[in-house]
Amino acid sequence: MPKTRIILDTDPGADDALAILLMLASPEIQLEAITTVHGNVTIDKTTRNALALLEFLDAKNIPAAQGCSLPLVKPPHQPKGEMVHGSSGMGRANLPEPTLKPIETHAVDHLIERFLAEPKELTLFAIGPLTNVALAIRKEPKFAQAVKELVIMGGAIRSGGNVTPLAEFNISEDPHAAHIVFNSGIPITLIPLDATYKCLLTSADIERLNKIDSPIARFVRDVTADYMAFYLKYEGFAGCALHDPLTAATVIAPELLSIEQHYVNVDISGGVSTGKTYADFMKAAKKPANMKVALDVKGREFVDMFLRRVTTFAKQHT
Ligand code: RIB
Ligand code: CA
């Protein structure tokens, strides 16, 4: 079975780190490059974290390109991200300062170069705000048709939001970028909160994982510590949602996802519902579906799969 060749646009971020770990632990996936974007923390920190993760996870051969530091239009609201992911963006994990450097090329240009060099061969995963992806679409008219598939962690369809009552963080952090991406014609699969909130990694899972004496197991414990504390304080649950890692299920376990095709767009009107993603279930707009949407998932099965693969990877990296 040929591997799915992936370029990952990310704002590490605790769950971004777990997504990168799961991708590297999955033989079905070939992670070819990382592009960083503002989001959970500032771009200097998301880029530093991406480089530190590549070194820590024995993936120094994968290039990383630094991307946009601000949303297209609205000002960023950092404090939210740091509350969940810690001031470094890596929770309580202390990864060594990376020796790796980002490549010279800006993330937007790197995305354009890579996808135009091999049209319809590469899959783009976007698990942070969509600023880099939107600018690649606007800067190079051929970019959209060169992307084989775009898998996005983002949005809240029937679910409430996690950064406003209505909007999910990645979309809310740059709703104008999301609007460009959603209306670009790229084949999109959206993994919204409706599914990701059903994939809860518990403190009991973390304890089980740490029966292995491995720096990877300890990293998973440490990087999720602030995340879990946040959920316990604000949502009354000792665990954390595997938002970003669930995107990998589109490749490694599609049977766990309940996918529907819908016309989905995002509110950019500037009012209280700005950043809200909505699916036109009643086909009121009379527009064709523009994406596949995961509206449900077998959450516990996905979390168990995540733990099995991370355990295997941890045993190989003691
Ligand atoms: O809403 C969850 C998303 O926002 C995840 O990508 C998380 O890393 C944050 O960026
Ligand atoms: Ca993220």
Residue type for position 104: E
Which of the following is catalytic: 38, 85, 179, 243? 243
Active-site residue 243, yes or no? yes
Does 143 reside within a domain? yes
Q: Is residue 140 part of a domain?
A: yes
Round the average pLDDT of the chain to a whole number and report it: 96
Range of the domain at 279: 4-200+243-302
- Best residue among 164, 169, 173, 198 to mutate for probing ligand 1, ranked by most atoms within 8 Å of CB: 169
Q: What is the share, in percent, of the chain residues with pLDDT greater than 70? A: 99
Does residue 98 fall inside a structural domain? yes
Domain for residue 226, yes or no? no
- pLDDT digits over 72-127, tens only? 999 876 556 777 888 899 999 999 999 999 999 999 999 999 999 999 999 999 99
What average pLDDT score do residues 171-199 get?
98
- Identify the pLDDT of residue 235: 82
Q: Which of 15, 22, 247, when mutated, tests ligand 1's pocket best, judged by the most ligand atoms within 8 Å of its CB? A: 15
Residue 313 to residue 22: CA distance in whole angstroms: 9
Could you tell me the distance, in angstroms and rounded to a whole number, from the CA of residue 169 to the centre of ligand 1? 6
Q: Tell me the ligand closest to 168's alpha carbon.
A: 1
231-252 pLDDT, tens digit each: 899 888 878 999 999 999 999 9
The model's pLDDT over 218-227, given as tens digits with 9 standing for 90+, comes to 999 999 999 9
Question: Which atom of ligand 1 is nearest the CA belonging to 14?
Answer: 8
pLDDT for the residue 80: 65
Distance CA 311, CA 99 (A): 27
For residue 125, is it within any domain?
yes
Atom of ligand 1 nearest to the CA of 129: 10
Handedness of CA 31, 35, 40, 42 (dihedral sign): positive
- Look up the CATH number of the domain holding residue 193: 3.90.245.10
Nearest ligand 1 atom, CA 193: 1
Residue 263 domain-assigned (yes or no):
yes
Give dist(CA 10, CA 289) in Å, integer: 26
The separation between the first and the last C-alpha atoms of the chain, rounded to the nearest angstrom, is 29
Q: Please check whether residue 29 lies inside any domain of the structure.
A: yes
Number of domains in the chain: 1
3-state secondary structure 146-193: HCCEEEEECCCCCCCCCCCCCCCHHHHHCHHHHHHHHCCCCCEEEECH
Confirm whether 35 is domain-assigned. yes
CA distance 43 to 314: 28
* Cβ atoms of 23 and 123 closer than 8 Å: no
